[in-house]
Structure 1
Amino acid sequence: MKARVKWIDGVAMLGESESGHGIVMDGPPDAGGRNVGVRPMELLLLGMGGCTEFDVLSILRKARQQVTDCVLELTAERAPADPKVFTSIHAHFILTGRGLDPRQVERAIKLSADKYCSASIMLGAVATVTHDFEIRDA
C-alpha cells in the first residue's frame, strides 16, 4: 500500500491514496491552519471506524441480518503530553434493521475487534478499545 501527502500551504495537506482518492487535512488557526480539512488524528479515528463498520456490516450480511442503517459513534481520549496518542477509544454501533439478532450483532462486533479490523487491533496496542451497540427496528 502506498500513499502520498502533499503540502498545500500553512499546515494544510492533501492526502492521496494509492486507489486514487484524496482528502484535505488541516489544523486549527491557533496551529497555523485555516480549518479547511479534517485533522490527521481525526482521520486516524475515522479510518478505524470505517474499517470496523465495514467488517461488521459484511459479517451481518453473511449472517443474513437485514441491516437498513448503521451509524458508528466514536469517542476517543488522548494522552495529555506528546506524543498525544489515543489512550482510549469507544465505538458505539447504532444498527437499524428488521428482526436483527443481538447475538449476531455482538458476534460481528467481536469478530471485527478481535480478528478482522486491522486498524482497531493496531490502535488497541496503545489504547483501550471498547465497543457496544444498540438495535433499532426499521
Structure 2
Amino acid sequence: MTEFLVKNLHGSHFYMKTPSGHDVHIDAGVDNNGYDSAPRPMEYLIAGLAGCTGMDVVSILKKMRVDFEEFNLRVLTERNEDHPKKYNKIHVIYEFKGDNLPIDKLERAAKLSQEKYCGAIASFRGSVDITYEVKIVD
C-alpha cells in the first residue's frame, strides 16, 4: 500500500507531501472554517480526473503520430445539493486546435482513455454519470 500523510495545519487547511515528493495544500472557504488558501478537496478530484485522461490522450496521440497545436479539456460537473455533496454528473470536453486533425484518431484516443486507461475515471465509474465529447475548435 502507498501511504499519504495529510497534516492539519490550522482550521480546515491541510498539507500533504505526495509519495512523488510534491507539496499539496487543501483548504476550505472562510465560511467553512478555512482560510481560502488552497483548492477544495472536490476540486482536486476533478483536477485528477482531467489530468489523468489528458495525459492518456497526449500519450495515445503521440503513438498515433498525431500532432496538434493546442489541447485543452473542459470539465462540466453537477453535484448533489444535499449531503453527501458528491458528483453525480461529469462531462469531459476534449478540445483540439490544429491543421488537418484526424477526428477519428482524436475520438479513438479519448475513448481509449475513458474506457481503458484512466484510473481516475474508472474510480468514478458506477457511481457517477460520466460522458465526453471531442471537438476541433478554431
Same amino acid, percent of matched pairs:
34
Letter in 2 for 1:55: D
- Deviation, 1:7, is 0.8
- Deviation, 1:136, is 3.5
Letter in 2 for 1:96: K
TM-score, normalised by the number of residues in structure 2: 0.93
Structure-1 residue corresponding to 2:63: 62
Structure-2 residue corresponding to 1:21: 22
Pairs within 5 Å for 1:1-138: 1-136=2-137
Cα distance in 1, alignment partners of residues 18 and 51 from structure 2: 15
Cα distance in 1, alignment partners of residues 23 and 70 from structure 2: 26
Deviates more, 1:38-47 or 1:98-107: 98-107
Query: What secondary structure does 2:52 align onto?
Result: helix
Query: What secondary structure does 1:98 align onto?
Result: coil
- Deviation, 1:97, is 2.6
- Deviation, 1:120, is 0.7
- Deviation, 1:41, is 0.6
Cα distance in 1, alignment partners of residues 77 and 112 from structure 2: 21
Give the number of equivalent residue pairs.
137
Letter in 1 for 2:13: A
Letter in 2 for 1:120: I
Letter in 2 for 1:4: L
Cα distance in 1, alignment partners of residues 98 and 3 from structure 2: 37
Cα distance in 1, alignment partners of residues 104 and 3 from structure 2: 38
Stretches (4+) displaced over 4 A: none
What RMSD over aligned residues (CA atoms) do the two structures have, in Å? 1.2
Cα deviation, 1:76-106, whole Å, max 9, x if unaligned, reads 1111222211100011111123321000010
